[in-house]
């Protein structure tokens, strides 16, 4: 896959989305962000898209109470913007079956642990770091994986390890992992763009 035409999906602040937007603009990532989709009309990701002059859409069950119609609206938006790869960046909803089928093998997600540890439904953000500390882990990390119909169960694409310090709190660990997320997602997407990783 050469020049990536990326769709970013995010539900909240969108700091990973921003890292990808910035990397494309700086030429560190051989691609461009074609569209940003959020299920939250007030998300920081929507604001970041607007600031970068990237088309963005609020597509959620509020506008489309019927799941099949929401799935179709998302798919039509992706096709209209000629998306080649979907990158989930803090997106809290499952994608629908038509979108999953059409983009099978071209949807990646970032998770703040070394999957399969500390993944699955309800395991996101602070909850992941709390679980890592409660388990007494000495390392955690970041996983990029392909997306299927189950949370955090798709094949692993790449992982990066992050140390857990003896005096870590949830906040200090979260900050260290997030810094690595921003770098590693871009690095992994560039490896996909350059053909080093074949999805």
pLDDT in tens, 39-81: 999 999 999 999 999 999 999 999 899 999 999 999 999 999 9
For residue 3, the model assigns a pLDDT of: 84
56 bridge partner residues: 36
pLDDT average, residue stretch 156-175:
98
The rounded Cα 90 to chain-centroid distance in angstroms is 5
Q: What percent of the chain has pLDDT over 70?
A: 99
Q: Is the pLDDT of residue 163 over 80?
A: yes
Rounded CA gap, 128 and 170, in Å? 9
| pLDDT tier for residue 2 given thresholds of 50, 70 and 90 | low
Query: Max CA-CA distance within the chain?
Result: 49
Catalytic residue annotation: 111
Rounded to the nearest integer, the mean pLDDT of the chain is: 96
Number of H helices, E strands in the chain: 6, 7
Q: Say what the pLDDT of residue 90 is.
A: 93
Mean pLDDT within 142-170: 97
How is residue 29 written in tokens?
């990532």
pLDDT digits (tens, 9 = 90+) for 3-43: 899 999 999 999 999 999 999 999 999 999 999 999 999 99
Mean pLDDT on 120-131: 95
pLDDT tier at 1, thresholds 50, 70, 90? very low
d(CA 138, CA 194): 33
């Amino acid at each position: 896959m050469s020049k990536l035409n990326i769709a970013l999906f995010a539900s909240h602040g969108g700091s990973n989305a921003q890292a990808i937007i910035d990397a494309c603009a700086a030429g560190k990532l051989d691609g461009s962000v074609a569209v940003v989709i959020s299920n939250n009309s007030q998300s920081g990701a929507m604001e970041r898209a607007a600031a970068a002059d990237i088309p963005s859409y609020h597509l959620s069950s509020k506008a489309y109470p019927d799941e099949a119609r929401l799935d179709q609206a998302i798919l039509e938006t992706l096709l209209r913007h000629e998306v080649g790869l979907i990158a989930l960046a803090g997106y809290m909803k499952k994608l629908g079956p038509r979108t999953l089928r059409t983009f099978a093998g071209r949807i990646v997600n970032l998770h703040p642990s070394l999957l399969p540890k500390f993944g699955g439904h309800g395991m996101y953000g602070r909850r992941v770091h709390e679980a890592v500390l409660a388990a007494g882990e000495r390392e955690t990390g970041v996983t990029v994986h392909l997306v299927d119909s189950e949370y955090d169960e798709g094949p692993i694409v790449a992982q990066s390890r992050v140390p857990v310090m003896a005096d870590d709190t949830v906040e200090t660990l979260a900050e260290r992992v997030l810094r690595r997320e921003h770098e590693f997602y871009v690095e992994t997407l560039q490896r996909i763009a350059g053909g080093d990783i074949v999805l």
